[in-house]
Amino acid sequence: MKHYGYARVSTETQAEKGYGLDTQQGEIRKYAAAHGLTIENIFVDAGISGAIKDTDADEAITKREALMELLAVVEEGDTVIVLNTSRLWRSDNTKVLIRRELMKKKVKLISIEQPQYDLYTVNPNDRLVAGMMELLDEWERLSIALKLARGRTVKAKGGDKPAGVCPLGYKYAPDKKSVIIDEDEAQIVKMIFTEAQKGSSLQKIADTLNEKGYRSRRGNAWSSGSIALIVHNEFYTGVLTHQGKPIKGNHPPIISKIQFGKAQAQFSRRKRG
C-alpha cells in the first residue's frame, strides 16, 4: 500500500490564497508526517485552465499529464492525498470520470481540507451523472457494434468474406481485402474431400492425416470434429454464408459443388446406415 500526493493549479487559481503549488505540496507533506505516512511521490499539474476542464472533461483530463500518470501508477489499496478535491475536479463530468478510475482500483482519497469526505459515499447527483455516463458508454459501444455489423453485411452481400479467420486452404491477399487460395493447405483440403467422397468416416480421415504426418493449422493432431468443420463447409465451393443465407463468393473454390455434394451424400448414407 503506497501513498501519493496530487497538486494542481490553473491559470485562474494561481492567485487564489492558499492554493499555490508550493502550499499544496507543503500541506500534503505536513499531513503525511503528522499521520506517519510515507509519500512515494507528489504528482503536479501546473497551468491547466479550469475553463478547459469545465467545457471538455475528457480533453482536459488527458491534458493533465501528472494526473494521467497518477491514475496509471496507483494500485489497489493505495492512497491519494490532496489539499482539496477541487484540485482533482470541478465539473460533475470530470468528477465522475476521475472517481470511477480511482474506485475501480479501490483507492482511498484523502482531502486535507475536507476530513469528512469519503470517495465511496455517493450522493444523488453523483449517482445521476454516473448513470448518464454509463449509458453514454453503452450507447457508444452499441453504435460501434452496429457500424461493424453493417460493414460486415455490406461486404458479405458483395461476395467478400466479412471478417474473421479464413478456413483452412485460404488466406487473405496482401491487401487484406480479398481471399485467395493457400496452395499448401489446399492440398490437405482436397485430400480430405477425396477420402470423404470414397465413404471414409470422419475419424478414419483424421487417422489417415495423422498417420501421414499432417497437422492442423495450429499444429494439433486431427480429430473427427476438426474434419467435420471442413467437409460440411460450403465455403470451399465458392459459396459464402452470411446470416444463414448462401451468397456467391468472390473467392475461388477449392472443391467443386459436385464433389462436395457426393461427400455429403456419403455422410448421409453412413448416418442412415
Q: What is the pLDDT of residues 1-43, one digit of tens each?
A: 899 999 998 765 454 545 789 999 999 999 999 999 999 999 9
Same domain, 174 and 261: yes
Same domain, 92 and 136: no
Q: What average pLDDT is seen over the chain?
A: 85
What is the tally of structural domains in the chain?
3
Q: What is the pLDDT of residues 99-147, one digit of tens each?
A: 888 998 899 999 999 988 888 876 676 667 656 766 676 677 778 878 8
Please give the order of strands across the beta sheet that includes 108-111: 39-46, 3-9, 79-82, 108-111
Alpha helices of the chain — where are they, by DSSP H? 21-34, 50-55, 57-63, 65-73, 92-104, 124-157, 183-198, 202-211, 224-231, 257-272
Same domain, 200 and 113: no
Same domain, 141 and 210: no
Cα–Cα distance list, 111 to 85, 118, 203, 272 (Å)? 6, 9, 68, 76
Q: Report whether pLDDT(221) > 90.
A: yes
pLDDT at 59: 53
Same domain, 224 and 173: yes
At which of 96, 120, 144 does a domain end? 120
Percent of the chain scored above 90 by pLDDT? Answer: 52
Nearest-CA neighbor of 250 among 168, 164, 181, 174?
Answer: 181
Q: Which domain holds residue 169?
A: 160-272
Same domain, 22 and 98: yes
Q: How does residue 53 score in pLDDT terms, banded at 50, 70 and 90?
A: very low
DSSP 221: P
Alpha-carbon distance 86 to 17, whole Å? Answer: 14
CB 32 within 8 A of CB 112: no
Q: DSSP string covering 30-53, please? A: HHHHHTT--EEEEEEEES--HHHH
Point out the least confidently predicted range of 51-60, 79-88, 96-105, 202-211: 51-60
Give the mean pLDDT of 74-78. Answer: 93
Question: 213 or 53, which is more confident?
Answer: 213
Same domain, 164 and 256: yes
